[in-house]
């Protein structure tokens, strides 16, 4: 297909000979258990030991104040001194506290420069408390920063690969406070669907009730399914979750076309349908070329001067357009075959899909990224 961009056609359900008509997924892949979630942590710290690639102290007052405060806690008073070092950088530290993480558990952390540091390569993060949304300390981070990017600079040129001001520390934080959530003692739980849908929620509830042979599950809304603990699982909610999370359900979803105009990517679901419509696509090219000529006076002439005379050539090239009929109710594959028959590049295909939607012939939602 012409054009430097590509089209990604993602078909949710493949219709192949001998293949099943439905693509089933486990309940654990379709929904999360309400209350079982990660919590985001954040902290402010200092990275030391940089090889001249840290913050310029005179330009970053917060780095200077952090350095002075840290040294004062260690009994070193340099507040009145004129500091001039570039081996230290102020950073923001972020991490995700996993569900049911216990004291002493190690988690990965991300470190990002806050000032004008050029690189964090080779630096060491000093002890940094990590806070939750309630301003309580849940973990403490420290360790050597691993940076995948790099930067090199010379007198007349520089090169940068990746982002040298971002780094990670594997197992760099230790959990100091647990989030208490006694799921085993719960009488009921709620499943939060990752893609809310009435039909999918109903199918999940039916699958659970069929497995347990009791009406223990009900649909609250398109995104929530409530499960009450039956008598067979008295005092053991974990066993109930284990019994149902592997059940397979055929999820339903709305017909949708996702378009990324910046990159020319088009993603369609298999449920996309079109009504009968005729499509014509042609391209108009306007070309203008400049070939200026130089006019000089005759040899030995007493008057005259050299001038540049403009010469412009303009032309119009319009490719012929031919109407193509797309029958009503066709599936995604037939629609794409019809557009490909026109030799439509991705950019024009995006415009055609939007025009079909405007005409009311595309039975799907269009989402432009």
109 and 126, same domain (yes or no): yes
The set of residues, in sequence order, having a beta carbon less than 8 Å from that of 334 and lying 6+ positions away, is 326, 327
242 and 275, same domain (yes or no): no
The set of residues, in sequence order, having a beta carbon less than 8 Å from that of 17 and lying 6+ positions away, is none
- Rounded to 5 degrees, φ, ψ at 342 are -80, -10
73 and 163, same domain (yes or no): yes
Q: pTM of this prediction?
A: 0.67
- Rounded to 5 degrees, φ, ψ at 320 are -70, 140
> CA neighbours within 13 Å on the CB side: how many for 237?
14
Structure tokens at 118: 């050029």
* 80 part of a folded domain: yes
Maximum Cα interatomic distance, the chain, rounded to a whole number of Å? 116
* 21 part of a folded domain: no
- According to the model, what pLDDT value does residue 1 have? 41
3-class state of residue 130 by DSSP: strand
245 and 260, same domain (yes or no): no
51 and 163, same domain (yes or no): yes
130 and 149, same domain (yes or no): yes
* 307 part of a folded domain: no
- According to the model, what pLDDT value does residue 296 have? 73
* 311 part of a folded domain: no
Structure tokens at 290: 């400049």
89 and 123, same domain (yes or no): yes
94 and 202, same domain (yes or no): no
- According to the model, what pLDDT value does residue 173 have? 96
* 22 part of a folded domain: no
CATH of the domain at 215: 3.90.1150
pLDDT mean for each 10 residues of the chain (369 residues): 38 36 80 90 95 88 90 84 86 94 94 92 95 94 88 70 88 92 86 93 94 92 93 85 92 83 75 73 56 72 71 60 55 66 71 80 79
Picking from 197, 226, 249, the residue at the C-terminal end of a domain is 249
201 and 165, same domain (yes or no): no
Domain count for the chain, please give it.
3
118 burial class (0-12, 13-18, 19+ CB within 10 angstroms)? buried
Cα three-residue angle 180-182-186, rounded to 5 degrees: 145
- According to the model, what pLDDT value does residue 281 have? 62
Q: List strands edge to edge, sheet with 256-260.
A: 265-268, 256-260, 365-368
DSSP for 145-165 reads PB---EEEE-SS-EEEES-TT
- According to the model, what pLDDT value does residue 18 have? 38
Using an 8 Å Cβ cutoff, are 363 and 275 in contact?
Answer: yes
159 and 193, same domain (yes or no): no
160 and 46, same domain (yes or no): yes
- According to the model, what pLDDT value does residue 290 have? 59
Picking from 249, 275, 308, the residue at the C-terminal end of a domain is 249
Range of the domain at 245: 27-36+182-249
N-term to C-term CA, the chain:
23
Picking from 175, 202, 219, the residue at the C-terminal end of a domain is 175
Structure tokens at 187: 């009488």
44 and 31, same domain (yes or no): no
- The DSSP code for 310 is P
* 195 part of a folded domain: yes
CA distance 86 to 358: 59
CA distance 245 to 247: 6
* 291 part of a folded domain: no
* 11 part of a folded domain: no
């Amino acid at each position: 297909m012409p054009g430097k961009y590509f089209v990604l056609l993602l078909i949710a359900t493949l219709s192949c000979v001998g293949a099943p008509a439905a693509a089933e997924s486990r309940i654990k892949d379709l929904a999360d258990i309400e209350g079982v979630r990660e919590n985001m942590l954040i902290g402010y710290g200092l990275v030391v030991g940089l090889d001249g690639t840290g913050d310029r102290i005179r330009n970053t007052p917060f780095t200077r104040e952090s350095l002075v405060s840290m040294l004062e806690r260690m009994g070193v008073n340099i507040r009145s001194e004129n500091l001039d070092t570039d081996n230290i950088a102020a950073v923001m530290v972020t991490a995700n506290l996993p569900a049911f993480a216990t004291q002493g558990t190690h988690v990965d952390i991300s470190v990002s420069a806050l000032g004008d540091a050029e690189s964090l390569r080779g630096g060491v993060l000093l002890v940094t408390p990590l806070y939750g949304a309630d301003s309580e300390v849940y973990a403490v981070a420290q360790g050597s920063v691993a940076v995948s990017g790099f930067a090199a600079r010379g007198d007349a040129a520089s090169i940068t690969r990746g982002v040298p001001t971002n780094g990670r520390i594997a197992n760099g934080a230790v959990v100091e406070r647990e989030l208490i959530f006694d799921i085993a003692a719960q009488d009921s739980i709620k499943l939060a669907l990752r893609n809310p849908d009435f039909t999918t929620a109903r199918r999940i509830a039916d699958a659970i009730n069929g497995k347990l042979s009791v009406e223990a599950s009900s649909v609250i809304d398109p995104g929530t399914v409530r499960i009450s603990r039956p008598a067979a699982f008295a005092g053991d909610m974990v066993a109930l979750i284990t019994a149902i999370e592997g059940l397979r359900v055929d999820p339903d979803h709305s017909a949708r076309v996702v378009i990324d105009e910046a990159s020319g990517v088009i993603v369609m679901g298999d449920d996309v349908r079109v009504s009968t419509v005729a499509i014509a696509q042609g391209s108009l090219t306007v070309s203008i070329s400049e070939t200026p000529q130089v006019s000089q006076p005759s040899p030995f002439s007493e008057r005259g001067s050299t001038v540049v005379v403009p010469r412009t050539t303009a032309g119009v090239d319009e490719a012929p357009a031919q109407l193509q009929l797309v029958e009503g109710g066709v599936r995604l594959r037939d629609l794409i075959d019809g557009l490909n028959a026109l030799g439509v590049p991705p950019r024009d295909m995006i415009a055609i899909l939007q025009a079909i939607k405007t005409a009311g012939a595309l039975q799907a939602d269009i989402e432009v990224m």
